[in-house]
Amino acid sequence: MSDITSYEVADGIAVITIDNPPVNAMSTAVRKGCWAALEQLAADDSAKAAVLICAGRTFVAGADINEFDKPIEDPWLPALVEKFEASEKLIVAAIHGAALGGGLETAMGCHYRCAAPSARIGLPEVNLGLSPGATGTQRLPRLAGVRKALDMMTSGRPISAGDGQKAGVIEKLIDGDLREGAIAYARELLDAGAPIKRVSKLDVAAEGIDDGFFSEYLQGLARTARGFFAPEQIVECARAAVNESYQDALKTERKLFEKCRASTHSQAQRHLFFAEREVAKIPDVPKATPGREIKKVAVIGAGTMGGGITMNFVNAGVPVTVLEVDQAGLERGLGIIRKNYGSAVKKGRMTEERLEQAMGMIAVTTDYADIADADLVIEAVFETMAIKKEVFTKLDEVCKPGAILASNTSSLDLNEIAAVTKRPQDVIGLHFFAPANVMRLLEIVRGEKTAGDVIATAMATAKKIRKVGVLVGVCFGFVGNRMFFPYVREAQLMMLEGVSPERVDQVAYDWGMAMGPHAVMDLSGLDVFNKLNTEWKDRPDDPVYYRMCMALCEMGRYGQKTGAGIYKYDGRKALPDPEVMEIAKREATILGVKQIEVSDEEIIERMTCSMINEGALILEEGIAIRPGDIDVIFVNGYGLPRYRGGPMKYADAIGLDKVCNAIRKYRARYGDLWWTPAPLLEKLAAEGRTFQEWSESR
């Protein structure tokens, strides 16, 4: 036995306790400790049954992900689960917190399960690009039924202990002290002569479950889990549970788990799992840095973005004062916020009472004096430097000392904005992504003089309002837009070259993007892209650059909001517009752009490699701390599929030499204005290294 796993006997019931903070991950040491405890249980005449329980805030919340790419050390988890089940003495799993992944699989290896009412259970391996691999795909269908098991495994979403009891996974809910209740439950089972229930011996309720059922289920996944590899493998494991013996089905589970584990999808999704946790680590801002207290927030601007930002804070229980230039603007803004909350009420996600409570947390004003006591002020006005300077000059005059002044700018020079104040150390960028009340990403922009405690506060605030906060430096477009512009640049150029926007968008969508580049531009507004490029002071002189966007804007075609942009619109439905390609052909003739044949492979290669090259420059310049930070930005803010891992992980996966060669190929065709390989990319490609290896070696 070890400190991680302990064994004691209470009133004839052995208690096996796992204590492996913070989440009691089923590491090698825990597995060894449990194995030894089961051996002791078998030899202990004083123990008639056992309870498996965990110390700390949770039951086993999964396997140790750090061990996934290492050689297996005995005892491996499937064998341990089978050993729990094979015990000749009755074992009860006592669940609190979360029993997830290998934790739930271990609990299902026990003969009975009890849980605190607040507990949650699930098999979320699909979120890492994996299928459950420690008998879970065979045990859960036997307890909960095939459909419920599939719904849990393919979505990865945990369910409550109460729902787990209804589904048949948990036998008893324990109010009060879980340890005492679990021991009493084990005693109750012994006194009642309850059988040792081995889940592997249970039949799968297969009524109505045939190949037609599985085919239909796969069709549904094609919509809800488009492009992901693991969900289909999970369905095949469930099919095996129905059609094969338990032992044969376990072989299928193991084979498909290994297939998932070796896939580029799982490698990408596991990369993101770690990257999304690592973004919180700022080298020059220690974790212990005390932040500033944020009790009151003010938002400047009641437009769509300002309203969305306001909702984030209200949802987190922080009152907000919204400032606009006139009462009409305030009323429009409040109307949009109420409409958004009303939509949540209609969908059953919010009550009318909660809606009114939320609206009651919003104060409105047209007077800057009313926000003088705000702890955090977020400016969300037009993306024009002159307007933003005017706002920050006023904020500097009225806001209290120590207030954090934040700009929602998506591309402008934060240092120039901060310079109009006498407190540049208190200025930071908080770039929300539209719609701000929905999108998870928050790009946090540090200026040259931004104080460490302001950065620490911004990172903590992102977490409080349930955003993924990523710290970046100052340059045009920061990280996200700076890399997204080349992606869209190539899509725009391809239109001039004779490639229809709907074809480019379909290829991007099939590759995994949530939307194609042209659909994104129409949704955001072509005028917005035009405005951003106008504000780019050092933009290279290239008459072809974004010419189609400019030409359409000159015609008043701004996208969805005007009913026509790159597409024309029937409501929100995008329809190809032959006139756009006529415009493209006309512009191409004027600009001397040749009409060429472009393959689907080239479409993806040009759009992704242009992003990757820009990302390499960003890393060299120190605008992003790590390649993983860039990946987190693009997956959470730009619709890149998680199974690609982000642009930098994707580059590592296909090989930096391949990326570099593609850039050289397009340099030969288009010249070196946009297609000069970044020095870091060339260096790593020549050395046969990856961005990840470069990051880890620094």
β-bridge pairing 362-365 and 320-323: parallel
278 CB-near residues (< 8 Å, 6+ apart): 626, 628, 629
- Beta-strand ranges (E) seen in 84-139 are 90-95, 98-100, 112-115, 120-122
> Where would I find the H helices in 592-626?
600-621
HSE-CB of 61 using CA atoms within 13 angstroms: 15
| Closest CA relative to residue 546, chosen from 572, 528, 564 | 528
- Beta-strand ranges (E) seen in 572-649 are 573-575
Query: Which sequence positions are flagged as catalytic?
Result: 105, 125
Which long-range contacts does 509-516 make (Cβ < 8 Å, 24+ apart)? 511/604, 511/641, 511/644, 512/226, 512/227, 512/640, 512/641, 512/643, 512/644, 513/639, 513/640, 513/641, 514/639, 514/641, 515/639, 516/491
Chain-centroid distance of CA 549 in Å reads 30
At 126, is the secondary structure helix, strand, or coil?
helix
HSE-CB of 552 using CA atoms within 13 angstroms: 33
d(CA 241, CA 237): 6
Peptide bond into 158 cis (omega under 30): no
| Closest CA relative to residue 368, chosen from 325, 330, 331, 310 | 325
Tokens read off for 28:
């090698």
Whether residue 430 contacts residue 444, with contact meaning beta carbons closer than 8 Å, is answered with yes
d(CA 220, CA 202): 28
- Write the CA distances from 159 to 119, 347, 643, integer angstroms: 9, 20, 24
Chain-centroid distance of CA 70 in Å reads 25
